């Protein structure tokens, strides 16, 4: 009876995981191993008074019949993963042989779509995630020290960047960094360069995207840390004060150790969220300067030609990348909570 109750308890969640996680992943992996059928081309010989010519045309009916018979496409195996738009194994090997050192090899890799998108995605994740955690922590410490009568409005304004939708928030910042906006004009004045434009510079655009990422995500870290601060043992803090501990020492030796599990949680969420960066690139119209793996998938699925297999292969590589990024956090969590005590 005990095991029966447990089975019916976990059955709904297990079915949801299969339906919304396992099945889509299996579907994406399967699609990435097939590629679309080529169009059936027929040759028609037309003869006239001045001789015969051979014209080629697409046999629409034969093409439709072929795609209907094999909707997944033709078997490609790992060829899609190895082509130039993904891992580009041949191009990477050639670049390694012909390059004049690591800097030259790196520049060659940045000319390949997948590695260019991967470079921005990893850079964005590596910078935005720790800055979000640090900024959110200090905002929580500051708000927690505000008088209780002012905490409500302070918390509300601190959460505004997260409340505002990503599209609206990024558009506001995008207009501000325009040459006619307040930030764009200020940068031109500071650099003493009236032609300076954030939108025309790849490094400046990367920095602006990361600034927006921290601005938008820091409220999440703040509210989690703020909730954690309410559970800190006041007796321990008072004992530290009696022993002569300064404010920084109380934060370092009492508050921070208490918030370590929350830091792990925030890092886990932010790593997943930042690795799939997409909205800022679209809102800032930064495609010419920065592309992410998520944007590469979107680009493959858009337009008149839908490259489903290419998008699926990029999705699988993205899933693998997320798994690698999260592995240290997951291993630590398993050791803390999954190991027998």
Q: What are phi and psi of 256, to 5 degrees?
A: -60, -50
pTM for the structure as a whole: 0.84
pLDDT-based confidence at 255, cuts 50/70/90?
A: very high
Q: What is the pLDDT of residue 81?
A: 92
Q: Which fold has domain 102-331?
A: MetI-like fold (1.10.3720)
Nearest CA to 133 among 46, 225, 66, 201?
225
pLDDT of 138 reads 94
Residue 3 has pLDDT above 70, yes or no: no
Beta-sheet pairing, 41-48 with 74-75: unpaired
Q: Which of 263, 294, 302, 259 is nearest to 124 (CA)?
A: 294
Give residue 208's pLDDT: 87
96-136: pLDDT as tens digits: 988 888 888 988 888 999 999 999 999 999 999 999 999 99
Between 57 and 86, the higher pLDDT residue? 86
Write out pLDDT tens, residues 264-308: 899 989 998 999 899 888 888 888 888 999 999 998 887 655 788
**Euclidean distance between CA atoms 110 and 121, whole angstroms:** 13
Q: What is the pLDDT of residues 78-96, one digit of tens each?
A: 999 999 889 999 999 998 9
Asked if the model's pLDDT at residue 1 lies above 50, the reply is no
Extents of the domains making up the chain: 102-331
Give 17 or 199, the one with higher predicted confidence.
17
Q: Which residues contact 258 (CB under 8 A, 6 or more apart)?
A: 228, 231, 232, 233
CA distance 315 to 308: 10
Q: What is the mean pLDDT of residues 297-325?
A: 85
- And the tokens for 119? 């470079």
């Amino acid at each position: 009876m005990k095991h029966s109750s447990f089975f019916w308890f976990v059955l709904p969640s297990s079915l949801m995981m299969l339906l919304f996680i396992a099945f889509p992943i299996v579907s994406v992996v399967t699609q990435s191993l097939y590629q679309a059928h080529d169009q059936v081309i027929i040759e028609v010989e037309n003869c006239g008074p001045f001789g015969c010519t051979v014209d080629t045309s697409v046999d629409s009916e034969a093409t439709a019949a072929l795609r209907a018979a094999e909707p997944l496409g033709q078997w490609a195996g790992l060829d899609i993963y190895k082509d130039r738009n993904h891992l580009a194994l041949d191009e990477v090997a050639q670049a390694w042989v012909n390059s004049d050192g690591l800097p030259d090899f790196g520049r060659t890799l940045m000319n390949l779509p997948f590695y260019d998108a991967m470079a921005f995605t990893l850079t964005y994740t590596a910078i935005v995630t720790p800055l979000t955690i640090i900024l959110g922590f200090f905002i929580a410490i500051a708000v927690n020290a505000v008088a209780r009568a002012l905490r409500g409005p302070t918390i509300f304004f601190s959460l505004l960047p997260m409340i505002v939708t990503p599209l609206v928030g990024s558009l506001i910042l995008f207009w501000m960094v325009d040459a006619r906006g307040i930030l764009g004009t200020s940068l031109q004045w500071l650099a003493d360069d009236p032609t300076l434009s954030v939108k025309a510079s790849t490094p400046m655009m990367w920095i602006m995207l990361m600034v927006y990422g921290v601005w938008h995500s820091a409220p999440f870290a703040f509210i989690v840390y703020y909730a954690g601060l309410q559970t800190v043992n006041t007796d321990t803090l008072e004992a530290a004060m009696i022993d002569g501990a300064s404010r920084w020492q109380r934060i370092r030796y009492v508050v921070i150790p208490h918030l370590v599990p929350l830091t792990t949680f925030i890092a886990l969420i932010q790593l997943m969220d930042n690795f799939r960066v997409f909205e800022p690139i679209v809102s800032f119209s930064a495609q010419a300067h920065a592309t992410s793996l998520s944007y590469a998938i979107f680009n493959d699925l858009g337009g008149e030609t839908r490259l489903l297999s290419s998008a699926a292969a990029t999705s699988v590589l993205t899933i693998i990348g997320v798994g690698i990024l999260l592995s240290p956090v997951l291993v630590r969590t398993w050791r803390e909570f999954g190991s027998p005590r």
